[in-house]
Structures are given as structure tokens and as C-alpha cells.
Structure 1
Amino acid sequence: MERTDIVCALLQFLKKLKTLRDSEDIRPRIYLDETWVNQNHSRKRIWLDKDGQGGLNTKTGKGGRLIVCHAGCAKYGFIPEARWVFRAVNEDYHSEMNDEGFTDWFTKLLQSLEDPSVIIMDNAPYHSQPINRAPTSANKKNEIQEWLRQHEVEFSDSELKPELLQKMQRN
């Protein structure tokens, strides 16, 4: 079962997409996503004869892993400049598909688009990193003080961490 918040977010997305499709908006809708493929990602036998016999045996199992990221739309098909494929070092590709790499790739994608476009993507953590994230109770006191200075919030050096967090929340 899906969590309620996820179901609500999906419904909001589908409503926005339907509104966009029903409108007169002619901007290309660019869809993007990323996935991975293992080196030995295949069936045990690649082909069989008409009787279901024979075939070419192939290795199965994980092996090396490639991460594939791409974007495309009905108007352009796959966008050549949007292809990004790289070899994963770790088993969990989410540790290598991160906000820094995604931002570089996404910037190149945007620069390659000639027309104003609508970008459609999921909500992977590396797709939406907050800028200047507010500190939490997990941060050190000096980090909270630095954030308050940057935001021109007055405080005293003698104030305790909970007091600083309260000031931060009020601003």
C-alpha cells in the first residue's frame, strides 16, 4: 500500500498533467528519468528455436552496473545531448546518482533545448536539493549561529542551542 502523502502527491501530479494536456500549450513536454542495468542483465537463454529448444546460454547475475539517464519528448524523440551513461562503482546507484552530478547533467540538458519546454520528472532526492537549508537540532551550535548571521538575525553568544533554533524558526 502506498502512503497517503505519496498518493496525494501522485494525484496532484496527474491533475496538473491532465490540465497541461487539455490546454492549448504547445511547448514540448520533456520527460526524464534514470535507471540502471547490470552487466549480465539478461535471460538465461537469448533465443530458442520454433520448438522452444536450443538457445544461447548467457551469464546471469549482477556483474558490473551502468547508470543510464536520458530525456526525450514526442517532438524530438530522445535528446542526443541528454544521454548520460556511466559505470557505477557501488552496488547502490543512488549513492552515485547525486545532486551534483544530476545538476551538471540537467544544466547541459537545458542548454541543449531550443524551445521553451515543460520538464517532467519524478521527485528523486537529487532532483530537488534545497538551497541554503535551514539547520536543525542535529547541527552544531556554531552552524546555527552562522546561519543566523547570514540571515541577519540577532542573537547572543550566550544563548543555548534550543534558543537559537527558536529564533531561527521565527524568521
Structure 2
Amino acid sequence: MCSGTQENKLRTPKKKRQPRRVTSKDNFDVDAIRRHVYDYYLRKEIPILKKLVTSLRDSELFRGQKSSLAKVLKDSGFSYKKADKRKILMERHDVAMARCNFLSNAKRIEDWSNVIFTDETWSNAYHTVTKNWTDDTAASTGSVPMGKGERLIICYAGSSKGFVSDALLAFKSQKTVEYHEEMNAEVYEQWFEDMLQLLEEPSIILMDNASYHSRQVDKMPSQINKKQDIIDWLNRHGENVDNSMLILQLLNILKTKKRFSKRYVIDEMASKYGHRVIRIPPYHCQYNAIELIWAQVKGYAARHNTSPPFTANKMMDLLKNACAQVSTENWADVVQKTKNIIITDWERHLAFDNLEDQEFIINVSERSSSDDDDETSSDY
């Protein structure tokens, strides 16, 4: 029988396909949507869902419905607030402030050749290209098994000069749910200190706020801590307290320490070796140039993972080969692109400050009573 005949076609009988809700967007798509929202404010227009869905479709940035867009926006740090009895889209205050602080620091960088970008990612043993030309027959069907297979976790750092030599960390995950369970503070801090010693000159290190990047030195306790831990911490910080005091009294004293400056293990480790850490704000991975390098690395691994064996060891070799294929020019290009994005976003902040009429822009706290309203309301 000839391949390609009707009888030889691969089909799933009587399977009713459900319409897919478009809520999955990669980080760079989300950034494009965020900038689209900002443009509404620069034009002094109110960004409501009904208008956003239409303009995003016209710009080919989003093709889903209002409910899907609402979820994407909320997951990107936006919420909707009420102003003059009309719901409008506002960015969370804490996210906006984190971005403003980051941009204020980043714009002062004079030598971008000494900026180190670091991040972690993962890949599965069955990772391969997701689309290819096929006529739905067995003859044009790949041999990669169904599912994901074993998982690898990788961590690296690089600059416009390329990857930091000998700084690759890659290991096989023993869990299948969440790779952050194994890339913890202990593992990351040991890798980070080793990487710092490989840097040839003082550098600025850009990283996100993952929990294992952010272990605090002498962290301020809270009500979940033991009473004695709170007493010990307060005594170390100039308060004369003892066990005769009630826990509520101790917690009230803690409130007076809210301006206590957080110190991070990673930051102090970097300072010891003559380097400085700048933290990227939440939901803004476009400020981390290594994200584009990861796309190149994982794309290479996927295109070459087409035949057995589909194992973690083979994927490890593919990832190492993929990293070796990343050139200095590739790194220089993505660093320049990242620098341009940072400069553009800072200029956007300046443009907001210079708006003469801001009567529809309101200051909001991180949460609002309107947060519990129906986010897919037709008015929104």
C-alpha cells in the first residue's frame, strides 16, 4: 500500500477538539503587550479590554478573546482600577516602582562590555522542534517519544564578550514538577561564588529576583517566627527586650524596624570580589540578555534531537554543543538590543513625567477593593 493513502493516515477517531483559550504567551510577547498598553497612556487614551483586544489583533500581538487577554495582563503585573466610575487598566505600583528603580540604576552603566547577565533554565530529554512539514502519514512522522522525558537544569552567565569560560552548571533533575526545587540557594550560591572568581575585572551583574538569588543576611523575623528568634533579632538591632514581653508587643516593636535595609547573600558575595548586583524587576525578563541566548541554545538542541537515544545524557551533550555554537557576535547583538530596550523604557518614563494632562492617571496601592470584581466585565 502506498504511503499517503487515506487508509494510512494517522488520526484520532471521534475526538472532539475544544477551542483553545489563548493565555500562553512567551516573555517577549508579554513585553510587547505591556508596551502597547503604555502607548495608550502616552496618547492619553484609557486602555480598556474591548479596545485592547482590537488594537492588539490589528498589531498582530494577540489573537485571543477578552477573557484570555485579561489573564495575560493580570499575570504580567497589571490590574484594573476604578476612576470616575470607569474601570481602567493600571500597572501594580510595586511592579512599576521596581522597574523605575532598575532603570534608574541601569541607565548609569557606562561600560556595557562589563555587564554580566545570568539566569537558569531547563530542557527535557524529548525536547525537539514542535512543528514540521507533514502529510499526516507514518512516513512523515518523527521518532521522538511522546511526553517530556528526563529534565536537565542549566545555569550560565555571559556578557557581550561571550559566555563566562568554565561557568556552565548543568545537572539532571531528580524531580519532575518544578526545577526551582533543586536549583536552590545552596546550589546557586556555590555556583555564583565559583563564577565570580572567573571574572577578570570588576563587573555589574544583572539577575532576576528568584528566591534562591535573594536569601537575606540577618532577615527580619515576622509573626511566623518563634518568639525567641524575634527577641534575639531585636536585641541584635538595638532593642532591649526579653521573654517577659508578649509576642504582640514584640511584633509591634518590629513594625518600627520596617525601614530596615535588606541585605542579600549574593550581593555581599559579589561585593567581596569587587562586583555589583543590579536586580531585574518582576515580569521584565526582556532586560536580561541571556533570555535571547537561551532561545538560541534550546533551538539548536531541539533541531538536533531527532533520533534515538532520547536521554538526559544525550541532551546534556546537545546543550553543551549548543552553547559552544553561540558566538561573541551573538552575545554582542543581544546585549546591544537589551541596552536599547532599557534606554527606550527610561525615556518612556520621562515621557510619562512630562505629560501635561494626567487627570485620568491615578496613584493606586498594590491591592484595591475592585480587584475582586469580574475581570471580564463588558465595561472593562
- TM-score, normalised to structure 2's length? 0.39
SS of the aligned residue for 2:119 comes to: strand
Who is 1:17 aligned against? 106
Higher relative contact order (CA 8 A, sep 6+): 2
Instruction: Supply the distance in 1 between the matched residues of 2:113 and 2:202 (Cα, whole angstroms).
Output: 6
Are 2:114 and 1:31 equivalent residues in the alignment?
no
**How has the CA–CA distance of structure 1 residues 152 and 12 changed in structure 2, closer, same or farther, with 3 Å as cutoff?**
closer
Alpha-carbon contact 1:32-1:71 (below 8 Å) kept? yes
Instruction: Supply the distance in 1 between the matched residues of 2:250 and 2:228 (Cα, whole angstroms).
Output: 10
TM-aligned CA deviation for residue 109 of structure 1: 0.7
TM-aligned CA deviation for residue 42 of structure 1: 1.5
Who is 1:143 aligned against? 229
Instruction: Supply the distance in 2 between the matched residues of 1:167 and 1:122 (Cα, whole angstroms).
Output: 32
Alpha-carbon contact 1:38-1:63 (below 8 Å) kept? yes
Deviation per CA, 1:84-115: give whole Å up to 9, x if none.
Answer: 00111122111111111111111011111111
SS of the aligned residue for 1:6 comes to: helix
Who is 2:166 aligned against? 81
TM-aligned CA deviation for residue 12 of structure 1: 4.0
Alpha-carbon contact 1:27-1:118 (below 8 Å) kept? no
Instruction: Supply the distance in 2 between the matched residues of 1:170 and 1:92 (Cα, whole angstroms).
Output: 37
TM-aligned CA deviation for residue 55 of structure 1: 6.0
> Of 244, 251, 255, which aligns to 1:165?
251
Instruction: Supply the distance in 2 between the matched residues of 1:57 and 1:47 (Cα, whole angstroms).
Output: 14
TM-aligned CA deviation for residue 60 of structure 1: 3.3
Q: CA RMSD in A?
A: 2.5
Q: Which has the higher helix share?
A: 2
- TM-score, normalised to structure 1's length? 0.81
Instruction: Supply the distance in 2 between the matched residues of 1:66 and 1:109 (Cα, whole angstroms).
Output: 20
> Of 110, 117, 126, which aligns to 2:196?
110
Deviation per CA, 1:48-90: give whole Å up to 9, x if none.
Answer: 8xxxx64642113121111000011112x11122100011112
Alpha-carbon contact 2:158-2:164 (below 8 Å) kept? yes
SS of the aligned residue for 1:138 comes to: coil
Instruction: Supply the distance in 2 between the matched residues of 1:9 and 1:67 (Cα, whole angstroms).
Output: 28
Q: Which has the higher strand share?
A: 1
**How has the CA–CA distance of structure 1 residues 60 and 46 changed in structure 2, closer, same or farther, with 3 Å as cutoff?**
farther
Instruction: Supply the distance in 1 between the matched residues of 2:201 and 2:133 (Cα, whole angstroms).
Output: 43
Number of equivalences: 163
Instruction: Supply the distance in 2 between the matched residues of 1:40 and 1:68 (Cα, whole angstroms).
Output: 16
